[in-house]
């Protein structure tokens, strides 16, 4: 493998492999690594931090993967991190926030994941945060509001999520917020109207009982939900719907 030391992109799909060899770290120029459908893979090499040029790491369908090594936090060039259907991963490294160049973080169908580390607030470049179908997450870290460049926050189908921290209203760049199917989420922050760039709010099948009154400050906002959902919040007349840019029935 040492003859491939200039390799920049590597995709692995090996259902029988349990461990990645430490020798994978000889690829000093590797920028893209995808590990997909490695159903028996239980761990990643701790010295993965030696992939100094890595910009994208995709872990998809690694249903036996038990944890994410701390060494991942030393990947200073990493811009995109995706964990998808890693069903046994219960926690992320506490120092995940050291990935200060990260632009996108996707956590999808990680059904055992219990929380998001507080250090996430240090990801000053993060623009897209996708936490979807993570059924064990009950709350988000207070430091979430420190993500001042975040534009896209997707919390779809986080069935146990009960609260969104108030300081989310500090996200001056946030354009899209999706809380659809968050059935245990009882309310949204009262100062949601401070999100001046917010253009889309998806509340379909969420558990919130009312919309904060400050939301009427957001003149260009589109609210997405079913007819039943929107009518339960008082949107019954044409006047109600035209207060915003649009309200969609889905």
Model pLDDT for residues 154-211, shown as the tens digit of each residue: 999 999 999 999 999 999 999 999 999 999 999 999 999 999 999 999 999 999 988 8
**CATH, domain range 2-210:** 3.80.10.10
Burial letters 168-186, b for 16+ CB under 10 A, else e:
bbbbeebebbbbbbbeebe
Strand partners, 43: 19
Q: How many helices and strands, by DSSP H and E, does the chain display? A: 2, 11
- The predicted pLDDT at position 247 comes to 52
pLDDT at 239: 46
Task: Assign 3-state DSSP to the chain and report helix, strand, coil percentages, each to 5.
Answer: 20, 20, 60
pLDDT at 244 over 60: no
Cβ atoms 132, 109 nearer than 8 A: yes
Q: With cut-offs at 50, 70 and 90, classify the pLDDT of residue 243.
A: low
Identify which has the larger pLDDT, 210 or 50. 50
* End-to-end CA, the chain: 51
Instruction: State both tokens at 193.
Output: 């109207």
Coil, strand or helix: which one is 139? strand
- What's the whole-number average pLDDT of the chain? 91
Cβ contacts of 26 within 8 Å, gap of 6 or more: 1, 2, 5
> Which pLDDT value is given to residue 210?
85
Q: Quick one: pLDDT at residue 37?
A: 94
Task: Indicate the Cα dihedral angle 121, 179, 221, 145, nearest 10°.
Answer: -10
CA 67, CA 44: separation in Å to the nearest integer? 8
pTM of the model: 0.92
The answer to whether 30 and 8 are in contact (CB under 8 A) is yes
Instruction: State the Cα–Cα distance between residues 182 and 91, nearest whole angstrom.
Output: 21
pLDDT at 249: 46
What tokens were used for 118?
């507080």
Using 50, 70 and 90 to split pLDDT, how confident is the model at 236?
low
Domains of the chain by residue range = 2-210
What is the predicted pLDDT for the residue at 2? Answer: 67
Asked if pLDDT for residue 65 goes beyond 90, the answer is yes
Per DSSP bridges, beta strands 32-36 and 176-178 are: unpaired
Residue-wise pLDDT tens digits, 109-148: 999 999 999 999 999 999 999 999 999 999 999 999 999 9
At residue 238, does pLDDT exceed 50? Answer: no
Residue % of the chain over a pLDDT of 90: 76
Average pLDDT over residues 26-46: 94
Residue in the structure block whose two tokens are 């259907």: 85
pLDDT of 237 > 50? The answer is no
Burial of 210 (0-12, 13-18, 19+ CB in 10 A): exposed
What is the band of 216 on the pLDDT scale with cuts at 50, 70, 90?
confident
Task: Sheet with 222-225: list strands edge to edge.
Answer: 9-12, 32-36, 56-60, 80-84, 104-108, 128-132, 152-154, 176-178, 200-202, 222-225, 246-249
């Amino acid at each position: 493998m040492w003859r491939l030391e200039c390799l920049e992109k590597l995709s692995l799909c090996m259902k029988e492999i349990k461990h990645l060899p430490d020798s994978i770290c000889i690829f000093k120029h590797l920028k893209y690594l995808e590990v997909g459908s490695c159903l028996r893979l239980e761990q990643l090499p701790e010295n993965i931090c030696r992939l100094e040029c890595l910009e994208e790491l995709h872990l998809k369908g690694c249903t036996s993967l038990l944890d994410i090594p701390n060494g991942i936090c030393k990947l200073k060039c990493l811009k995109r991190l995706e964990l998808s259907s890693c069903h046994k991963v219960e926690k992320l490294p506490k120092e995940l926030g050291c990935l200060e160049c990260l632009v996108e973080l996707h956590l999808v169908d990680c059904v055992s994941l219990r929380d998001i580390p507080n250090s996430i607030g240090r990801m000053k470049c993060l623009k897209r945060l996708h936490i979807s179908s993570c059924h064990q997450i009950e709350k988000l870290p207070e430091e979430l509001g420190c993500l001042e460049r975040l534009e896209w926050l997707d919390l779809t189908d986080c069935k146990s999520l009960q609260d969104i921290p108030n300081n989310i209203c500090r996200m001056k760049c946030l354009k899209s917020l999706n809380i659809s199917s968050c059935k245990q989420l009882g309310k949204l922050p009262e100062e949601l109207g401070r999100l001046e760039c917010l253009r889309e709010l998806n509340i379909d099948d969420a558990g919130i009982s009312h919309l904060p009154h400050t939301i009427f400050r957001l003149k260009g906002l589109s609210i997405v939900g079913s007819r039943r959902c929107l009518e339960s919040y008082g949107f019954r007349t044409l006047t109600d719907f035209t207060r915003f840019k649009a309200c969609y029935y889905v």
